[in-house]
Amino acid sequence: MDTFREALITEPGKIVLHEAEKKTPGSGEVMIKVVSSAICGSDMHLYSGKHPYAKLPTTVGHELAGVIEEVGADVTRFKVGDRVCVEPLITCGQCYYCQRGRYDYCENLRLKYRSGSSGYADYYYAKERWIHLLPDEISFDEGALMEPLACTVHAAMKARIQLCDSVCVMGDGPIALLLAQLSLAAGATHVYVLGIMKRNLELAERLGCIPLQSGHDAVQEVLRRTEGRGVDVTFEAVGIPVTFNQAMAVTRKGGRAVIFGIFEDEFSTKSLVDAMVKEIEVVGTSSYCWDFQRGIDLVSSGRIDLKSLITHHFPLDEVQKAMDIKKALVKNHLR
């Protein structure tokens, strides 16, 4: 039996490569030789054993790009050798939401990385409908970041940013920096990025944003620069109580606060009372729906910079090392 390596989180803080069977792709399916995979913030929640919707042990990894090595029967839009990225979803296609085109709301939605299919692997199997061609000008590393970009495109569209709006992004990680770039692309004139990582804040400034060291003083500075009103749109992209509270504090009356972070801990509801009094529209965002091609077009046209977000490269057999480095970065970020 032919096998290939595939990553599995066996317990909190431990990820191993086990052998998975290499099969011929099924009908409507392709087999992709993985070239690049990225580590998502949600992967770190899995790695810590604290993800609110997934239990260990589990496969992991869902941001990937590669080359189609084999196609199954009835595949019509792709061929061997195509450079592609993948939406890592499994939907039923039959429920109320799927029938109305909102596959992200599927009543039977599953994620491939929680269903025995790892993006940190030699090979990845995907149905044809979830595959997207990568233009020649987009690298595999950038292709692996199309999944988080699609998530942020979805969030930015829900934020309904208008020309000359002001925006505040809580956080300075990759998701936050993508949200900041998308805010500028959507027409915002002042985009504040509140974070703690020197490199990322410097990058935010190079991208055209206003970087501020996260904390009470930063909140007061945003309020000062907006004459006490606050910004039109806020993104919470960290997932801890203090940044949620700050998001409510810097959003103007009648503004919108888009919640992107995954919260592991419970917190006081006082900030929700503040949101009620200020009539802030609190918007949840999760996943994506018809947003992958939008992201590809944004990168292909030069409107969004993905390359600057890439910090490390590791071979597959160093996946544990990669996760530990990411864990340390996240820990320092949340201090």
pLDDT at 335: 46
> Residue 303: CA atoms inside 13 Å, Cβ hemisphere, count?
16
CA distance 252 to 92: 40
Select the more confidently predicted residue: 48 or 52: 48
Give the DSSP H/E element, type plus range, for residue 196.
none
pLDDT at 331: 66
Average pLDDT over residues 203-224: 97
Instruction: Report residue 325's pLDDT band, with 50, 70 and 90 as the boundaries.
Output: very high
Query: Long-range contacts made by residues 298-304, C-beta under 8 angstroms, separation at least 24?
Result: 298/149, 298/153, 298/182, 298/185, 299/138, 299/142, 299/146, 299/149, 300/135, 300/137, 300/138, 303/181, 303/185, 304/149, 304/178, 304/181, 304/182, 304/185
Residue at token pair 């770190």:
44
Residue 243 identity (one-letter amino acid)? T
Residue 178 in contact with residue 148, Cβ under 8 Å? yes
The model's pLDDT over 224-242, given as tens digits with 9 standing for 90+, comes to: 999 999 999 999 999 999 9
Query: How many other CB atoms are found less than 10 A from the CB of residue 205?
Result: 12
Structure tokens at 281: 């529209």
Select the more confidently predicted residue: 212 or 52: 212
Residue 65 identity (one-letter amino acid)? A
pLDDT at 44: 86
The model's pLDDT over 254-300, given as tens digits with 9 standing for 90+, comes to: 999 999 998 877 777 778 888 999 999 999 998 999 999 999 999 99
Instruction: Report residue 156's pLDDT band, with 50, 70 and 90 as the boundaries.
Output: very high
CA distance 331 to 157: 30
Kindly tell me if the per-residue pLDDT of 105 is higher than 70: yes
Average pLDDT over residues 321-327: 92
Residue 187 in contact with residue 162, Cβ under 8 Å? yes
